[in-house]
Amino acid sequence: MQASLFEATPEPVAVVSVALLRRILQAAPAQLRDDPEVGVLAAELGVEFAQPAQRGIDPDWLGHAVACVRRAAERKAEITAEDVWALLKRPPARPNDIGHALATAAASGYIERTDRFAATTTSRVSGGRQKRVWRSLVRNSEAL
């Protein structure tokens, strides 16, 4: 006998207070903090993470990477992390540092996140997972 939809067990719903979410974000591991989506959520909640230099990100590399994000955003209406990888002259110390560069570029007004993802086209370090699509806010502006 087949159970009706009304007899199905409902999915649990989690209700989390803003204060608890702030504490969770502050205790988040560095790998999670590098996720641009987590950075945006943290900014909306007023949670500040350690600065890049405190997390081991070379400030010179970060500046170069943000410039690459802007360059990619000037050339295309939408970009992914792969577009940034293609422009980097030197790779980051940790692949997750690309996420911080994208979040920094978003905070600088060069790009904004979308709710879309694109399939990975190169085999760098992503392991085939989908990459967030970012919308350019500087398309066709003067090149760096």
Is 96 contained in some domain? yes
Is 84 contained in some domain? yes
- Convert the pLDDT of each residue in 30-75 to its tens digit: 656 666 676 666 666 666 665 665 567 888 899 999 999 999 999 9
Is 93 contained in some domain? yes
- Convert the pLDDT of each residue in 112-130 to its tens digit: 989 898 887 765 555 667 8
Alpha-carbon distance 50 to 42, whole Å? 12
- Convert the pLDDT of each residue in 74-96 to its tens digit: 999 999 999 999 999 999 988 88
Is 9 contained in some domain? no
Report pLDDT for 45. 67
**Would residue 31 be called left, alpha or beta, if left means φ above 0 and alpha means ψ between -120 and 50 degrees?**
alpha
Range of the domain at 40: 18-136
Query: Does residue 1 have a pLDDT over 60?
Result: no
Is 11 contained in some domain? no
When divided into structural domains, the chain yields a total of 1
- Residue 9, both tokens: 């067990």
